[in-house]
């Protein structure tokens, strides 16, 4: 199921998840050029042209397809921190059909819970606005921070597979939509 109709903007306590703007390109390029940020990303660090191409893809996917990872902006100063959100993992055909959550933040924004906050907002939109039933994450087994984040979010490893273009082994993690809570269930029962 394509995650169509996702909200274009989401506010959290400290963040704004929003559409991509042309003025993001320079800050996005700095993130994508950082070898530490890109260590476990299949493409490796990106030069400016490749980063701009990725920006264009994200922008295009939002405008033409209605979904892509959001740009993550810090509310207090408007700084672009990176991205977080939902995508179709076409780079790993053996897991399709599926919707994955992806995340990438600039190095000096790690260790503050921003990715957790952005991912929880993404899940909330997926479960409660889209009615999606399941989300996966695809993570290199050495990517300790990404694995810790996924596990903090309640995701669990379901299998290990190979990303053919890089030959990398990757872990597939999954989380299911939480069961309705008691008051919601009671409301449905009352109406029945
Ligand atoms: C994956 C990535 C987004 C995780 O970032 P992160 O900073 O580790 O995750 P969070 O933003 O949720 O922060 C969690 C840390 O902040 C701390 N923290 C502080 N305040 C917090 C809060 N309010 N809520 C949650 N955690 C908080 C946690 O204790 C944890 O600390 P630790 O770093 O000592 O473990 C980041 O490492 C990254 O961009 N990596 C490069 C790109 C990448 O590999 N992407 C994934 C490809 S599969």
Which residues lie with the beta carbon below 6 Å from any ligand 1 atom?
A: 37, 40-41, 103-105, 110-116, 139, 143, 145-146, 148-149
Q: How far does the chain reach from its first CA to its final CA, in angstroms?
A: 28
**Does residue 186 register a pLDDT over 60?**
no
* Interval between CA 1 and ligand 1 midpoint (Å): 28
Q: Which domains does the chain have, with CATH numbers?
A: 10-191 (3.40.630.30)
Give 191's pLDDT tier (boundaries 50, 70, 90): very low
Give 70's pLDDT tier (boundaries 50, 70, 90): very high
- Which of 42, 43, 105 should be mutated for ligand 1, with most atoms under 8 A from CB? 105
Residue in 66, 63, 67, 84 with CA at minimum distance from that of residue 14 = 84
pTM equals 0.93
State how far the Cα of 175 lies from the Cα of 83, in Å rounded to an integer.
20
For the residues 95-122, what does the mean pLDDT come to? 98
For the residues 175-183, what does the mean pLDDT come to? 84
Phi/psi for 9 (5° steps) reads -140, 140
Give 192's pLDDT tier (boundaries 50, 70, 90): very low
State how far the Cα of 149 lies from the Cα of 146, in Å rounded to an integer.
5
- Which atom of ligand 1 lies closest to the CA of 139? 48
């Amino acid at each position: 199921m394509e995650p169509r109709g996702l909200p274009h903007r989401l506010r959290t306590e400290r963040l704004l998840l929003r559409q991509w703007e042309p003025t993001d390109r320079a800050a996005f390029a700095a993130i994508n050029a950082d070898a530490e940020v890109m260590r476990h990303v299949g493409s490796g660090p990106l030069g400016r042209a490749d980063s701009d191409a990725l920006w264009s893809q994200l922008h295009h996917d939002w405008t033409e397809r209605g979904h892509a990872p959001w740009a993550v902006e810090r509310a207090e100063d408007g700084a672009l921190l990176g991205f977080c959100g939902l995508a179709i993992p076409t780079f790993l055909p053996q897991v399709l059909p599926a919707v994955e959550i992806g995340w990438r933040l600039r190095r000096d924004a790690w260790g503050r819970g921003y990715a957790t906050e952005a991912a929880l907002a993404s899940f909330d939109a997926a479960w409660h606005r889209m009615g999606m039933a399941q989300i996966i994450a695809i993570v290199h087994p050495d990517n300790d921070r990404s694995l810790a984040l996924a596990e903090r979010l309640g995701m669990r490893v379901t299998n290990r597979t190979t990303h053919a273009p890089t030959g990398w082994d990757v872990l597939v993690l999954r989380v299911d939509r939480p069961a309705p809570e008691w008051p919601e269930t009671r409301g449905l029962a009352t109406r029945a």
